[in-house]
């Protein structure tokens, strides 16, 4: 009954003067981030009275639905969305890796036992791939490296086999897009093309050791010739060295992807030998699922063939019925003519 004697204005004045206290409501709705409950000095809460922390006004309402369209709540939602977008834009890949390791996000699901790669998981894989590309190309314990990469992404539910499969698919896709770009002259529309190209170009820049290129060694030999022939031989050596350098760099670029595939093949052999002894039950289950899927596909193919045969059989019966009907009509005409 005391609520009826107090107006919203009177309650608001008592809150601002400190006579009435404010308490946050223990619920997850964003409405209660803006509105708070009001209590008297004795601790009893005022029913249907809530204080807006934005405009400092007292509002009447029975549930959160009464306050969702309030301007202060709308502004709060807009501000939170804006801050979330700005935070996403300013986070660097290194910060993303450390943040994801410390604060696990929602685990991605799987489809038929295969990991579904989200854009965020793919970016994280490219970052880890770039950090370990030297060791992967040189074949330094590929299994251990991929296991370490899988540990950094374990909160997403990724295994080393998932990473290996994704790397295989990425390299194959990049080769296809690169060849298509060379043939058509049009830039690739694949969203990850630039990232993979940058990843491989980083390795190319790291592997460029000019002292190991034979053409440059020959250039040093020109510098050791007598002084009277030095200028002519240096000019000729620079031209030859430029051509050889272009050929050498082109050969290095072509071999980068082949080296990746070779190292991944070695990893696959190591992984097969390990999984055969590590977890035979899991492997048997996966093989069983593959066999069941293959059986279902064969059944569908058989059913489709049966359907085609039934259609052909129906057409033959229709043609036979027409011939019998025609023969019956002809026979009737003959008897009637007699």
Residue ranges per structural domain of the chain: 2-85, 93-278, 297-338
Q: Assess contact for 50 and 65: CB atoms under 8 A.
A: no
Q: What percent of the chain has pLDDT over 70?
A: 63
Q: pLDDT category, 283, cuts 50, 70, 90? A: low
Residue 232, pLDDT above cutoff 50: no
Looking at the DSSP bridge assignments, the partners of residue 45 are 39
Predicted pLDDT of residue 221: 41
Mean pLDDT of 191-213: 64
Q: Residue 291 corresponds to which tokens in the numbers above? A: 């066999």
Which residues does 67 contact at the CB level (< 8 Å), separation at least 6?
31, 34, 35, 50, 52, 59, 61, 73
Would you state the pLDDT for residue 337?
A: 76
What does the pLDDT average to over 275-302? Answer: 70
Taking residues 295-299, report their average pLDDT: 78
Nearest CA among 112, 130, 108, 114 for reference residue 166? 114
Instruction: Locate 254 and state its tokens.
Output: 């072509």
How many other CB atoms sit within 10 Å of the CB of residue 263?
A: 20
Q: What is the mean pLDDT of residues 122-148?
A: 79
In this predicted model, what pLDDT tens digit does every residue of 40-84 receive, in sequence order?
A: 888 888 888 888 888 888 888 766 777 888 888 888 888 888 888
pLDDT for the residue numbered 138: 64
Average pLDDT over residues 270-279: 56
- For residue 287, pLDDT over 50 is answered with yes
Q: How far apart are CA 69 and CA 35, in angstroms?
A: 12
Q: Quick: pLDDT tens for 174-198.
A: 888 888 888 788 888 888 888 888 8
Query: Is pLDDT above 60 for 223?
Result: no
Mean of pLDDT values over 13-41 = 84
* Region 231-251 average pLDDT: 49
Cα dist. 204→45, 98, 137, 176, 306 in Å? 70, 27, 11, 19, 56
**Antiparallel, parallel or unpaired: β 110-111 and 114-115:** antiparallel
Burial class (CB in 10 A: 0-12, 13-18, 19+), 159: middle
Beta strand pairing call for 35-39 and 58-60: unpaired
Per-residue pLDDT band at 99 (split at 50, 70, 90)? low
Burial of 25 by CB count in 10 Å (0-12 exposed, 13-18 middle, 19+ buried)?
middle
CA distances (Å), origin 250, targets 17, 112, 146, 216, 262 = 79, 41, 28, 16, 19
- Residue 229's pLDDT band, with cuts at 50, 70 and 90, is very low
pLDDT classification of 241: cutoffs 50, 70, 90: very low
Q: Does residue 244 have a pLDDT over 60?
A: no
231 has pLDDT over 70: no
């Amino acid at each position: 009954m005391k609520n009826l004697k107090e107006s919203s204005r009177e309650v608001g004045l008592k809150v601002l003067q400190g006579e009435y206290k404010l308490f946050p409501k223990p619920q997850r709705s964003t409405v209660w981030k803006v509105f708070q409950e009001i209590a008297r000095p004795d601790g009893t809460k005022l029913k249907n009275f809530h204080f807006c922390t934005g405009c400092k006004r007292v509002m009447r309402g029975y549930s959160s639905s009464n306050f969702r369209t309030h301007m202060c709540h709308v502004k709060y939602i807009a501000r939170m969305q804006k801050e979330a977008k700005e935070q996403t834009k300013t986070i660097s890949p290194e910060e993303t890796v450390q943040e994801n390791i410390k604060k696990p996000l929602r685990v991605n699901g799987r489809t038929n036992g295969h990991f579904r790669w989200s854009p965020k998981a793919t970016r994280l894989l490219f970052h880890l791939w770039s950090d370990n590309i030297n060791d992967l190309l040189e074949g330094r314990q590929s299994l251990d490296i991929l296991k370490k990469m899988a540990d950094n992404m374990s909160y997403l539910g990724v295994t080393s086999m998932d990473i290996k499969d994704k790397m295989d698919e990425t390299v194959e896709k990049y080769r296809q897009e690169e060849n298509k770009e060379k043939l058509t002259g049009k830039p690739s529309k694949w969203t990850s093309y630039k990232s993979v190209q940058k990843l491989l170009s980083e390795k190319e820049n790291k592997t460029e050791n000019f002292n190991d290129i034979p053409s440059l060694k020959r250039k040093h030999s020109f510098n050791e010739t007598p002084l009277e022939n030095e200028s002519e031989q240096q000019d000729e050596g620079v031209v030859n060295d430029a051509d050889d350098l272009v050929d050498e760099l082109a050969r290095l670029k072509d071999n980068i992807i082949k080296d990746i595939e070779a190292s991944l093949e070695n990893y696959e052999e190591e992984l097969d030998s390990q999984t055969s002894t590590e977890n035979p039950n899991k492997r048997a289950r996966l093989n069983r699922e593959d066999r069941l899927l293959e059986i279902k596909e064969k059944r569908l193919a058989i059913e489709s063939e049966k359907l085609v045969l039934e259609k052909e059989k129906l057409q033959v019966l229709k043609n036979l019925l027409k011939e019998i009907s025609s023969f019956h009509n002809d026979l009737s005409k003959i008897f009637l003519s007699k």
